[in-house]
Structure 1
Amino acid sequence: MAKIAPTVFIPLSYKVRGTDSSFFVDDFKVAETLASFNKKITTMTGYMLLVLVRPGLPYVVIDSTANDKIKTLVAKRYDVNLKALDLTHFHTDPDLIDNYALPLFIPAVMLVVLDIIVDCVHDLAALYLSDNKLHSLHDLSVLSIKLPKLKVLRIGRNRIQDLQQLDCLESLPLEDLMLNGNPLRDKYQDHNAYIRDVKKRFPKLLKLDGVELSPPIKPDVSEPLQMPTINENYSCPEEGRSFVHQFLAAYYQLYDNNNREQLARAYLDNSMLSLTSTYVQDQSSENTSEFVKHVTESLNFLSVKDDSRGQKSSYHGKRDIIACLSKLPKTQHVPNSFVTNLKVFTPQVILMSLTGLFWELGPTGKQLLRSFSRDLVIVPHGQGHCIMNEELSVTCATDNQTEVGLRTSGPAEMLPSTTRVTVAASRQVELIDDGMKQRMVDGLAAQTGMNMQWAQKFFMKATGIFSKRYIC
């Protein structure tokens, strides 16, 4: 042995058969050094010593004797006070190297060891597995189930290549993790990025590679936080609520009427409308009633393949809009299902969203419940207000929405019949001039706090005044 000094190694599973002996080493450089002395050492009998080295793994058979040795080793290395088990250099333990080669990187050995740990140690808090040539952590995925109280894990100086291999351990409430000495660490030039990626998997981590981490920020409150009350209907400002109520009352009194041509008074001559109808998730024509008339008039980008069809499916001018709305089935809307969101309310422009339910009245008296949403851009005109731009989306009602609709005892009026809202007269309307456009943008900027550039961009996108293409 003096010939190969200062190289130090531990022969594992050493066996003698006649004049031959065999053993394993766990270091490639040691194996190379031993191979270099082939036929260079003279034995006491005068023969040259043959040193044959080849790659391989020990043949592992975990019999009752080996099982007992593992139990003895686990008991010897367990610290009762710290509730910690140190299995560092497990396969080189003096109790195992004579006749047993039991490396933990062999799955069969790791699983047996874990089973023994669970049987012998019920509240393990720390497990040290460094220096065990581990190249996979898949076998450790059972730790979150078998050792749910484990908070310290040291797996440094192994052969773990990627941080993704730790994904199987994410359920563990780890506070202290040791990874240094693994190839995965060399892949990070930015140490902060390394810490960030580790903490994504273990948010409770307080120490990484022996270095204390900044504690997670927690709200300094003595009482549980109370979330604000959710308001289904929102109006900005509050005085707009009365306008919304009256406008929708008048609109749907006409819309649910047999003659929708009266709605022409609610639109400008250059108004725009886009209609979309589609099935929501888990719905199709096979499990919900079809709404063919809506789909026929719909602008659905999943079905519209060419640009010309898209332009035909968006409606320009009150005549085309009323023609489209008149083709749709008769309806009876459910007022108590309405949810409104008044986003902008200024003298120059009003932006409003509306969602709700309506009953589609079939020719045979059959009623089908639908869900709808409407986005409206409303501007002052004459003595009242008109819709300048509208996006209407219709779908089949979900199960929850159907319950809301069925709770309605029958057709209900939006408001008493004496309530009316003033809409613009149906006289010819000229296109909005540049001065009016600028005043509308100024009002939008003043109401929302946007700068003029963003207010104009938002106005152009929301109203479609400056675009000849259909609305997305």
Structure 2
Amino acid sequence: MAKTEVVENWEPLRLTHIKPSFNNEESALAARQDLWHKFILFNVGQYSATEILRTVIVACEPEIILPVMYKKERPNKCTFLTKCSSSAIENLVKQGLCITLSNGQELRIDIILGYTDSQNLQLNPNRIIAQALYYRYEPTKKVLNLDDFENEKSLNSIYCPISLPKVLHFVLRCTKMGILSNNRDSRLPIRELSLRYNEITRIVFFEKFFNYHLTKLDLRHNQIADVEYLRYFSEFKISELWLDGNPLCTKYSKCQDYVQAVKNVFPHLQKLDGIVIGMEQKFVPSIQSNFLGDGTSTCLIKQFVKHYFTLYDQNDRQVINGLYDRDALYSMSLGPISNYIHKQLTKTFVTNRNLLKFVDYAKCQEFLLRGPEKIISALRNQPSTIHHFKTFHVDLLYEGEIHLAISVQGMFSFRDIHQCPPMFFNRTFIIMKKEDNEYCITNDQCYLDGTPANTLLGNSEIKFESKGAPKFIPTVFSVSEKEQLLIFLHEITTMNMKFCHQYLEDANWDIRTAIATFMNMYTVNNVPPEAFV
């Protein structure tokens, strides 16, 4: 019993940067794996948590620490908790409990050893990381996806930057625990490994993690400066490799030099950055179905494309109102059309601005529509459509601070016309960022032609089913949109803002439902007089 008390009872001890020391008692307390230690950092200023924590982890090498529950308590003070070895803390003490950021700024550290125990803070970083890795592994395809792992939501407050070799080494050990629970000493049965968006500079392992089935490696959008930093993988039969978005790609002036340098490290390589080795000598350009730059705007672009064409395919295109800027421009041109039904339908497109077919060039400016009223009026006069999202190809043409230019092409059908083949479209949008993190269209160029679908789709047979208008539930995201709806409802009903807000809240900010509810209640005298005060 006496021995148990010695193990369980302890008094926290503080190591301070004012007088760094690490005696036997402090070392024994630091070595206990049932205790959490609190790190207090001073002079942190406006530096990010990422930069601060990364510097602390590097300062503890070759030992490893994983910070949890990072918190900025004052402008110049931050804290976090961790469990670590006695050697990690000893390394910091030897540095005077002072670490230096990349720009030379010095941070001072105090450490409270034994700040709390595992009973009070029941957090197991190893188990949480292993669980996160379990869900990132596809056992049927044998794919391990570690993309942007530092921002994995299931890690919660654990900071785990696999850009640091020691941390990546630790994570792969946890992977064994997560996906090889029955035999943790075996090598990982992985065919494809993806490590995109992790700021990795090099891969350095001193352990055999993978079996020899590993054939595909994706390292796009990291910070690898030399292909030699990937020498660890040379013993594997890597046949497909992605290195786009790394500094090493800019080192070579000739494509052949780049390929040869990579082949020196990966002798079994057949495909590099999506191109079959040898094709680069035939001057065949790289083609991607969806080219979205470095991927930072992918979510925004996908959301816009889905939102716009869902609205466009509604029975009444008036719902598009709000997507176009007040000075937006729209033009539409028709290409070759051979189908008789297409020819009859496109006669309704009086705004055809194909300059090659203009007889009266005075109409050139007239058919360049300006403003949402003219644009939406023209779109409403066109037959109802249904766009086939599976045929879409999207290109990001330009990306600035407040502008995006994207091109969308694919197939669409006229919804109410039977036995009418689909048509091809290409829309080029310029999208501008507005207040409240909203985006609107400032320029929309539309091109249509009747090229047979099998020609555009490479003779692949895709059946286009005739469907009704896609389901659309209007959702209001911004404060300014809500203010506009409040003003609109106030002007129509003359109710005060309080009651207008209540009606819109009850209708989930669907203006049509709110107006219908008001009319029903007003008809039976069920709107209280104070609503008009």
TM bin (shorter chain): 0.3 to 0.5
Higher relative contact order (CA 8 A, sep 6+): 1
The normalised TM-score by structure 1 is 0.38
